[in-house]
Structure 1
């Protein structure tokens, strides 16, 4: 409470014969004002536990503020009537005491209602319901601008949460102190209290002040942890802390845009710069590897998504440093991302492993690249901005096998307008180029084509089942699916060609029993050789496996069935007490099922013939087949 700095009533004027009517009116007004103000500024009021701005005395608070305004206007009138009046000194003391009380109440309301004036509470209902226009941020140089400012501020408050009485009390006090020339005292209290809250909130969000050297010295595990913390904090800081502070400042100081700007900027700028500088420092670490890219994209995406809100909250000219820092951090994050992408492409080109993958399965390089790209595609908006003006340099020559009919795949820029699509198509092309080279060491050409089919199918499935399909398009998927079929066809011809060549083109043609016997014996040998060779080969993708099995069955089973029907006697011939034929059409079907599916037909295979070799082939295939069936093509 303010101290009693004045007498309880205004000093009477010395009687004069010519006391004007105006002076009499001023004296009466001063007496009435003194009664209202003294009630709350007297020594008795100072010792009371009752506060002016409380629920029980809200009407009296309004009367007090009204009395202060009347006091100010009365002082102006008094100056015009009698500039040397003793009442001016008394009025000035009365005004100072009233301002001291209002300043004390302003501080008390700010502190006592901290929970309700917490930025999160203030902003929770305001978020996305209120946007700042340029009219709410310019200086109020004339009455029209000032009126517009107050209307906007009132509209924002209508959507705000927190304790509306506290916010209204603060506004009432601020308006009164500003209008009576005590804005400096009011703003000083406001800045001190609110800045401590902003600093404490950022501390609770685990935001620390780092310099570049400190960040560069951090181990990646520590820095990654700091990045995760930052990602959680930045959204809360922008959408609740800074937004809430802006709403509160706009409401409390709605009578002056200049005060809103100066108070808000001074309260939030230091913390905002600490928050928005961190991504720039993180982008300048010395060991940027491709595996770290996604954390930097997380930061880029977070800042980019918040930029419009940051720009509107920190619209003021005095907050230009905050906006500039956000733009600078986005630029540095983009630089870091492009550098890591270049290293990623370089790592693919430098991959030199020469050991063939057992069974012709999917190469680890293919899995790594496609998993990486499928994750990268989830950041399509961010990388579109980052790659926008990044020119792709395609080295030549590239292997002829990379050219696919229907599109010059070795020149991605001719196929796509999107820089992201161009870049991703190029990385896949690099990978397929490497895989093409890794097929060469296989001694069995059929296995090399199976290897190519498996790897390209893995690529296609990854594209089809992720955001990559949106970036590369249906045409890309179709063309590469056709190439998978081409590889699969070549595999079938090379792996089963000798078996298929033994079957007559017209299986219903009549041949002699001896010719049939020789043909059946050769067919048995070739089928078993092809079957045994493939028991260790793998086809991880179920769709590709099914496609090959169906195609092969159509080519093999139809002819075998007709030939078996026409030459059944040859299958029944016996030589040296051993059946010549070990593979009836039903047995062949079971063997193919066991070879390409593992879990089907293994029982029939083991009893299909009398020889141990048939049983052994079936068992071996069953075990490897189950392993294939259990692997994911993703």
Structure 2
């Protein structure tokens, strides 16, 4: 009787386990309950042995029945011609069937070693795979249909984006629209000024449906396939968005072959595109990924990386092409734009591409940003080479302003408009700044910034170049005029810009003193010779000898003065204030000596009578002649821009 009751109890246990679907947890619970009956006469071990040793084929009947039912339910939807998610009831039924299939596989998976169960599980896996393929198609279809309904044209234009408000999640076209020749309405978009915008490219209902599908595909082990489908669809959206911002897909070689004027325009388009991408498009895609793959962080991160990788690399490759391209000095300012844009977007790169899948994008952005800094430093080195190579053979007519002086000074003034950026660029390269300097280190303060050292060095190269050019002039007075014109121009450009604070007051005083010294050299080598003719000693001479001497001096003075005025009529002093100072200085020195000479002449009546006719120039004439000087060639070299 006891044996009969034991068999009945075991039969009940088997029936419960098989009917409910046997799992490890459920079996343990059943054994625990029945082992407590009849003062623990049915031990847990004994019951377990009897249940595990049961080979009754009726134990798999429930599994077979369940799989047949699921096969009918799932196959009907797998073979359907119309979209399952077109009807909410169909999609709900399909999802429920897949959930049951996943649950059945999980419940019986621990018994996969048993042949009958293994055969059933193989059939279940085939059915699950078919369901996943159909889910994949439905997933793609949901995204594509929603993207089609998202009016991209009204959200993007070649000039930028227009948002209906910060953070509202949508864009709208401008209320004011132009008409083309056929009368069609053309939406007008404004440039982006506010980046606090999020694009909801898919409706909320679609996002929820995608999330439900993604959960099942990840649970079934199809997470990578789901990510691939998602990223391929969203990647197209991103690429079209960037294209509508006017940015072309260019290889590095194509960028290098592009004429500079075209590349300048492309850099402007790139600047707009990369700002929109990092501040609007990528964050919006990240938000969408997080919602579609909510609770599935690995799938979300992988999908986001695959969506954005191509566009991010396209944007970075363009910046890299600019960085490794020509380092001609005229390219500095656009390369500075690229450098500053990438620098200012580094926080966005760090935030948007924060997961481990995107680590290579963060690294690449930093690498290219630093490479742009190297390009900027290289441009300054090329400027140095340009100054060194500028030939000294062709002298500027009239000793005026040399084109190299004007070019370099205006270039440096413009460059200092980005002083803060340049300070950053050269701070990153402290060891390599100054290692090739040969001038006296005492000329520069040891506390100077690397940028100040760089600017001072370029100034030294320019001065050295100008000194070489000054030696082309055979007339030492004209050589002094040339150096005075160019050094004065340099000093004025330094004083009127950021260069002044970079180079310091000592530099300005030192070079202002040089201008004065060149002025002195000019006076000594020009009017000093004329004045020397008029000098008289105090020795007394007989009237006839004195008359002869004075006549010779007058004759010599007239000849030298007229020759000097004729020669210097082609010379030019660019700076108006300096021109006035030089005229006053020359007039004062010459007239003082001339008046003294005439005074000596008038003090000797006998001599005056014999020499009066040799006086060609009055004091007023001399002053007028000198005041006509330094105008020559001003139309050619007198521009101070």
Shorter-chain TM range is 0.5 to 0.7
Match of 2:270 in 1: 234
Q: CA deviation at 1:425?
A: 0.7
Q: Does residue 547 of the first structure (1) align with residue 581 of the second (2)?
A: yes
Alignment of 1:539-578 (within 5 A): 539-556=573-590
Change (3 A) 1:546 1:117: same
Q: CA deviation at 1:307?
A: 2.7
Contact 2:329 2:379 in 1 (8 A): yes
Paired residue secondary structure (2:258):
helix
Match of 2:433 in 1: 391
Alignment of 1:34-183 (within 5 A): 105-115=142-152, 159-160=196-197, 167-175=203-211, 177=213
Alignment of 1:603-614 (within 5 A): none
Q: CA deviation at 1:540?
A: 2.3
Match of 2:287 in 1: 250
Q: Deviations over 1:553-610 (max 9, x none)?
A: 4445577679889988999x998999544433333332222113x4xxxxxxxxxxxx
- Where structure 1 has 5 or more consecutive residues not aligned to the other structure, the ranges are 1-40, 53-60, 84-88, 131-156, 399-407, 506-511, 599-623
Q: CA deviation at 1:112?
A: 0.4
C-alpha separation between the residues in 2 aligned to 1:253 and 1:481? 65
C-alpha separation between the residues in 2 aligned to 1:426 and 1:158? 42
Change (3 A) 1:75 1:451: same
Match of 2:457 in 1: 426
C-alpha separation between the residues in 1 aligned to 2:323 and 2:248? 17
Paired residue secondary structure (1:595):
coil
Paired residue secondary structure (1:414):
coil
Q: CA deviation at 1:240?
A: 1.4
Match of 1:627 in 2: 635
C-alpha separation between the residues in 2 aligned to 1:342 and 1:250? 45
Match of 1:208 in 2: 249
Q: Deviations over 1:206-259 (max 9, x none)?
A: 432526xx45xx8x6526467435423432332213432322431563444555
Match of 1:280 in 2: 320
Q: Deviations over 1:63-102 (max 9, x none)?
A: 999x99x989x989x99xxx9xxxxx9xx9xx99999988
Match of 1:440 among 455, 466, 471: 471
Q: Does residue 311 of the first structure (1) align with residue 336 of the second (2)?
A: no
Contact 1:235 1:306 in 2 (8 A): no
Change (3 A) 1:168 1:116: farther
Contact 1:361 1:454 in 2 (8 A): yes
Q: Does residue 354 of the first structure (1) align with residue 393 of the second (2)?
A: yes
Q: CA deviation at 1:419?
A: 0.9
Q: How many residues end up aligned between the 2 structures?
A: 491
Paired residue secondary structure (1:160):
coil
Match of 1:588 among 618, 622, 627: 622
C-alpha separation between the residues in 2 aligned to 1:471 and 1:276? 33
Contact 2:316 2:368 in 1 (8 A): yes
Moved more, 574-583 or 243-252: 574-583
Q: Deviations over 1:483-539 (max 9, x none)?
A: 11221122123221134456789xxxxxx9988975766654443232122112222
TM score, norm. by length of structure 2: 0.61
Q: CA deviation at 1:276?
A: 0.9
Contact 1:416 1:422 in 2 (8 A): no
Match of 1:363 among 402, 409, 422: 402
Change (3 A) 1:114 1:259: farther
C-alpha separation between the residues in 2 aligned to 1:431 and 1:103? 65
C-alpha separation between the residues in 1 aligned to 2:387 and 2:559? 43
C-alpha separation between the residues in 2 aligned to 1:182 and 1:394? 61
Q: Deviations over 1:20-57 (max 9, x none)?
A: xxxxxxxxxxxxxxxxxxxxx9xxxx899x988xxxxx
Q: Does residue 530 of the first structure (1) align with residue 564 of the second (2)?
A: yes
C-alpha separation between the residues in 2 aligned to 1:309 and 1:47? 39
Match of 1:377 in 2: 416
Alignment of 1:456-471 (within 5 A): 456-471=487-502
C-alpha separation between the residues in 1 aligned to 2:592 and 2:531? 11
C-alpha separation between the residues in 1 aligned to 2:257 and 2:136? 55
Match of 2:3 in 1: none
C-alpha separation between the residues in 2 aligned to 1:158 and 1:526? 74
Q: CA deviation at 1:328?
A: 2.1
Q: CA deviation at 1:329?
A: 1.9
Q: CA deviation at 1:432?
A: 1.1
Contact 1:126 1:160 in 2 (8 A): no
Contact 2:602 2:608 in 1 (8 A): no
Match of 1:262 in 2: 302
Paired residue secondary structure (1:538):
coil
Change (3 A) 1:191 1:346: closer
Contact 1:238 1:309 in 2 (8 A): no
Match of 1:615 in 2: none
C-alpha separation between the residues in 2 aligned to 1:105 and 1:341? 54
C-alpha separation between the residues in 2 aligned to 1:316 and 1:273? 17
Contact 1:123 1:161 in 2 (8 A): no
C-alpha separation between the residues in 2 aligned to 1:435 and 1:222? 35
CA RMSD of aligned residues (A): 5.3
Contact 2:591 2:619 in 1 (8 A): yes
Match of 2:33 in 1: none
Match of 2:364 in 1: 325
Q: Deviations over 1:169-228 (max 9, x none)?
A: 4444445555677795875664333211222334453432526xx45xx8x652646743
Change (3 A) 1:221 1:360: farther
Paired residue secondary structure (1:393):
coil
Change (3 A) 1:282 1:158: closer
C-alpha separation between the residues in 2 aligned to 1:128 and 1:301? 25
Change (3 A) 1:113 1:189: farther
